[in-house]
Copies of this chain bind each other. A is one copy, B any other.
């Protein structure tokens, strides 16, 4: 499939400039750091895009020309081994930020999960704004710190949790993030495929499927229409997530 091309947004992604002042996820993200005047400066450099599911936003090793903010939908970021083994290192939802670079290159690839809206900021202009507005810089630092903490949780999961604990943790994570965005946490919306979940949790699709079935049989969850999972025994699921 051809990658979503940000340089020619008219082709596979429609550009529609919308005012940051009315942005529904503003409070959640970098932009929360900014006053009116600063925000308008940010609005000057931003482009918003709408992208279909399973489109590449950027690839590991690309020159990191932009930073992004997800405003709706979801994105997966991942790394590959030469033989194709894949590790998804994170799922992003509205309000989440991505595009941190090392040596001006993206350290991972990013792909949409389903139809997604993103804001794009040219990195060079973003750097200028950071110099001008230390608050912005500080906000980004804090976001990076939080991501780092999340990454460490994920390492604990990957290195030391069982399949059942991994799935439970995954559901809890999705629920908690839904709450943070002001959405309902139960039933949990699980928009990604079994294959994506497997590559996020260090499992295979079969094991993911079987584990969902087990949780269902044990009465901990129920699988609903539209990629929703109802957590019927919250205590049990939360306990499992912590390795109880």
Interface residues of A, Cβ cutoff 8 Å to B: 79, 81-83, 85-87, 89, 100-102, 107-108, 130-131, 134, 137-138, 140-141, 144-149, 151-156, 158-161, 199, 201-202, 242-244
Contact = CB atoms under 8 A, between A and B. Distances in A.
Contacts of A130: 138
A244 B83 CA distance: 7
A59 to B, nearest CB: 14
Nearest to A145: B100
Contacts of A82: 242-244
Contacts of A107: 148-149, 152
A146 B201 contact: no
Nearest to A100: B145
Could you say how many copies of this chain the assembly holds? 2
A141 B201 CA distance: 28
A161 B79 CA distance: 12
A147 B146 CA distance: 12
A146 to B, nearest CB: 6
B153 A151 contact: no
A87 B242 CA distance: 13
A160 B100 contact: no
Given A137-B137, A159-B87, A152 B152 contact: no
A155 B155 contact: yes
B146 A144 contact: no
